[in-house]
Amino acid sequence: MIRAVSICKDYHVGHKMKRVLDNVSFEVRSGERLGILGRNGAGKSTLVRIMGGVEHPSSGRVERTMTQSWPLGLTGGFQGSLTGYDNIKFIARLYDKPLDEVRSFVEDFSELGQHLRAPVKVYSSGMRARLAFGLSLAIDFDCYLIDEVIMVGDQRFHRRCRYEIFEKRPDRALMLVSHDTGVINEYCNAALVLHGGRSKVFMDVPLALDIYTGL
């Protein structure tokens, strides 16, 4: 299980504090797929970063009893002076996974070819995203965090991401941020709606989508 307990997040805006998330609580159990809905600026990406440990909440906590990915596609964690292959080696060693298996998956999924021998700092944003998604999916987690905002690339790459995330891993838990209501309706069995910093969880996904579209 992964549980958010009374998560609050404040940011400095000029001389004032702005509360982006206000007492957000929910839980995701093994195999559950939670869609995260909200208009631009509602705090969706902030929540995913907190759940993934990339940011800390101002108050509240995240409890985990199953393994969880970092936000899929996260590119900020790369060592820019290292090559793609060096970053692959680091992740494989960090998660104690066979290097040959991780390297083979990332090579096939990212389709970066000889660019994997170059320093990541010279990659375009699209190349970094391909490497990031490949590394994220090369490790077998109980729960995956997905922020669709960071998905880049052509339609073929999007289809490959969708297959790997939704079809190849049907038994894994997900937390999915998406503006695509069709994706949420098709793949999620619960939805969390963020509005004004507050949240509400719905087990009835069509109802959640109706409320979201009415915001």
Question: What's the pLDDT score for residue 75?
Answer: 64
152 band by pLDDT with thresholds 50, 70 and 90 = low
Q: How do the domains of the chain map onto residue ranges? A: 1-67+143-155+172-215
Once rounded to an integer, what is the mean pLDDT over residues 5-30? 94
Q: What angle do CA 160, 41, 69 make, to 5 degrees?
A: 40
Whether domain 1-67+143-155+172-215 has CATH 3.40.50.300 = yes
pLDDT of residue 165: 85
Q: Quote the pLDDT of residue 151.
A: 56
- Asked if residue 110 lies in contact with residue 133, where contact means CB atoms within 8 angstroms, the answer is yes
* Average pLDDT value for residue range 155-182: 86
Work out the average pLDDT over 88-107.
94
- pLDDT (tens digit per residue) in 28-68: 999 999 999 999 889 998 998 899 888 999 999 999 999 99
At 213, is the pLDDT very low, low, confident or very high (cuts 50, 70, 90)? Answer: very high
Q: Pick from 38, 61, 78: which is nearest to 176 by CA? A: 38
Predicted pLDDT at 24: 97
CA distance 25 to 60: 9
Contact 46, 62 (CB under 8 A): no
Q: Other CB atoms closer than 10 Å to residue 102's CB: what's the count?
A: 20
**Which bin fits 152, alpha (ψ -120 to 50), beta or left (φ > 0)?**
beta
What is the C-alpha to C-alpha distance for residues 50 and 165, in angstroms, rounded to an integer? 21
- Give 101 or 159, the one with higher predicted confidence: 101
80 in Cβ contact with 45 (< 8 Å): no
Average pLDDT over residues 73-101: 87
According to DSSP, the residues that pair with 202 across neighbouring strands are: 191
